[in-house]
Amino acid sequence: SSAVSPGFSPVLRLLSAGLLASWSSPYDFLFDSAVEAYYKGDWLSVILHMEKALRNKALVRKVKVECRISCANQTAFSEPLAGLGVPIPGAGSVEDLGFFQKILKRADCVNSCESEQLGPPTIHQATEEVELEFKKRTPYNYLQVAYFKINKLDKAVAAANTFFQANPDHMEMKQNLDYYRMMAGVQEEDFKDLEIRPHMADFLLGKRYYSDDSFGLAAEHFEAAVDKYFTADKECRVLCEGAYNYDGYNYMEYRADLFQAMTDHYTQVLNCKQRCSVELATNAGIKLFEDFLPSHFNYLQFSYYNSEKYEKAIECAKTFLLFRPNDEVMNQNLAYYSVVLGEDKAETISARQVVKDYIRQSILEKELLYFGYEAFGITFVDPDTWTPEDVMPKKLRDKQKADRETAARITEEIGNLMKEIETLVEEKKKDSSDMAKMITPQDGGSLLYDDIRVTMTSKQLNGSKRVLLDGVISDDECRELHRLSNAAALKGDGYRGRPSPHSPSEMFQGVTVLKAVKLGQEGTVPLKSARLFFDLSEKVRKVLESYFRVDTLYFSYSHLVCRSAIDEKQEERTDLSHPVHVDNCLLVSEMNECIKEPPAYTHRDYSAILYLNDDFEGGDFIFTELDAKTVTAEVRPQCGRVVGFGSGKENPHGVRAVTKGQRCAVALWFTLDPTHEEKVRNLTHKDPNLHQQPKPSADINCLIPVDPLILSIHVNNWCKIQFFLFSWSSDMTHLDVQRLCSYRGNTTIFYNIDSPGFSIYNLS
């Protein structure tokens, strides 16, 4: 039978008529539909779906709150059962059954109520990712753009301001709001926070009147805030009574008997209810007011005093003292108000009962949670600063005191150690100052080649481990690699076959070293072009290895890639050609953090981009802060230019949209760990056939030896031949070009990897 009855609220009776079921869609589905419409530029659909997603999410919450509160009222444990009286668990087996009968009835009531209004429970279950988007108010970011596009400025401003309240470090939105303020027709009242909670709105308004010395109006809003706070607290608490959170995959190993399972779940619920005081003291998810509820009565007592309402002032002062009975200033205020009103009359005025009940309930919950902490090790951190000291068990108090003393001692020792280090550093600086003057200041090491020049250093690029080099390769070499890219590259190569991996407005095509060499052997592309790809990437590796002064850089991945603008998809583009990212960690720009763990390529240590052309529009390379918004440096591609940088969190980077033409470059990533060396490059090294020059005559025979550590080359006549020799072991990856000249007769030249160097034997 249905749990919905005439005892339910009007809202639920309205919903039970099927209104919600007739038009409601899951808010995560609506959110995804709105995002899809956004990228299609369908602004009206964005607004329709996103507004509906916000409404439906709020309605789902409201239904759950109403159902649980109504069911709690209908199945109260204090109500007696027929022939049994009030079911007190533990009084006996029959009483236990009566108690659990109440629990079963409440569960049935809640399930029936929610399923009747919302349908099956899985319909409105969203992923953590979607929930996080709503928590961050991301829907309003999409809405502000959509409303702006259809010239609804008041709604665009409200949406932008709502998003900004929860994301005050979002520089792009801050700029949008500054822009809106300068626009004609935009009013100050348009800058609303559409998500502000009712109790917080009244509290902030009360503070504003309080600051203006409008104490009568301040008191009105603080009183409204108190009433709405307790309503919000009730809703927050009832929403804690949800499913048990197994914390990841713990459910696979969870084994508990009846009472342990009840304990685990109930302490989790109590922990959640205790955190409601923090949740309600939070403005837009980021700003926490200390002692939020007690502060209402602090403001109220002084507002009433200035309005000469001494009875109210005394009531609020006594209510505040429930939280902090030893507050010296408030006790003085209370004494003064009592004298002004008359001490006998003041004695009859009590603190507010609703606050007494709130504190009593909260302290009982804390005592249960501390018991669970001691007995079962279920951690509890008290969110309130007003809790009486004796609520925490003495054993835990002593432990916390010892922990604080230990932390203080460690902090002091660290401080002393840091002072000693600073002293040593200063002395070292002083000793080396003369030597420093003798050395020419350099941003990095040698460049190895005379025609390469440093255009910008780390300092000029506003970061660390950054360099901009020009003249690395010639115009002819740029053109040859550009031709190779268009002849050999495949759409989506290097991007799991996706031709538009980063932007739907551009097409990507690429080719790896091994692919290029194999195509060269097959005759599809000139072999010298494939070899040039290999050699020039090796040149960049050497230059960066020397400039950044690292022992050995190994190739992690090499990719010749071109990105071409799709002409019909360039209108009103706001995306990047390559979104801002970090090469060896997962960038979480909202938190200004970068997480160095898979699937990131954590082994990458240095990166480089070798540019081949500049005959395109857009496509500039950018460095940013960790917020992925604040640009710190910008590089315009051109032939022979290389931007090199450390692959870590110090260098978030991206590429601006290519809006016309084709942008080509060689992307190179390096590692200091030889175990992560590019496998295809190792393979290239191990196969001499991939790099042999075409044979100039039958007099030269290049033999692949049986022993993989020996390369044997027979030279039968006078000759002058240039060979490219590549080692066959990972510990000797790269060799310079070796010139073998003018040996008469049957001479065999061996290159021994075990003892590097040439050995020459005359076999004639």
Best CA proximity match to 485, nearest among 529, 445, 521 = 529
Best CA proximity match to 472, nearest among 495, 447, 493, 492 = 447
Dihedral sign computed on CA atoms, order 676, 678, 680, 681 = negative
Angle at 353 between CA 343 and CA 85, to 5 degrees: 135
For the chain, helix, strand, coil in percent to 5 are 50, 15, 35
Token pair 């301001």: residue? 161
- The catalytic position among 663, 681, 739, 744 is 663
Q: How many residues does the chain have?
A: 764
Calpha distance 121→103 (Å, rounded): 20
Q: Is 360 a catalytic residue?
A: no
What distance lies between CA 396 and its chain's CA centroid? 35
Calpha distance 713→701 (Å, rounded): 7
3-state DSSP call for residue 264? helix
Residue 600 near residue 585 (C-beta atoms within 8 A) = yes
Residue 584 near residue 601 (C-beta atoms within 8 A) = yes
DSSP category for residue 85? B
The torsion region of residue 184 among left (phi > 0), alpha (psi -120 to 50) and beta comes to beta
Q: Helix axis angle, 353-376 relative to 258-274, nearest 10°?
A: 130
DSSP category for residue 596? -
Strand 720-723 with 738-741, pairing: antiparallel
CB atoms within 10 A of CB 140: 27
Best CA proximity match to 513, nearest among 536, 486, 491 = 536
Token pair 């739907």: residue? 504
Calpha distance 197→438 (Å, rounded): 65
Element (H, E) at 508: strand 506-511
Calpha distance 245→258 (Å, rounded): 17
Residue 368 near residue 267 (C-beta atoms within 8 A) = yes
Calpha distance 643→621 (Å, rounded): 9
Question: What are the structure tokens assigned to 323, written together?
Answer: 């939280």
Q: Helix axis angle, 27-40 relative to 128-135, nearest 10°?
A: 70
Question: What are the structure tokens assigned to 751, written together?
Answer: 């290159």
| β partners of residue 595 | 586
Calpha distance 662→614 (Å, rounded): 9
Residue 640 near residue 609 (C-beta atoms within 8 A) = no
Strand extents, DSSP E, 566-618:
578-581, 586-588, 593-595, 606-611, 617-618
Residue 163 CB partners (closer than 8 Å, separation 6+):
137, 138, 140, 141, 144, 170, 173
Token pair 């175990």: residue? 675
Residues labelled as active-site residues: 663
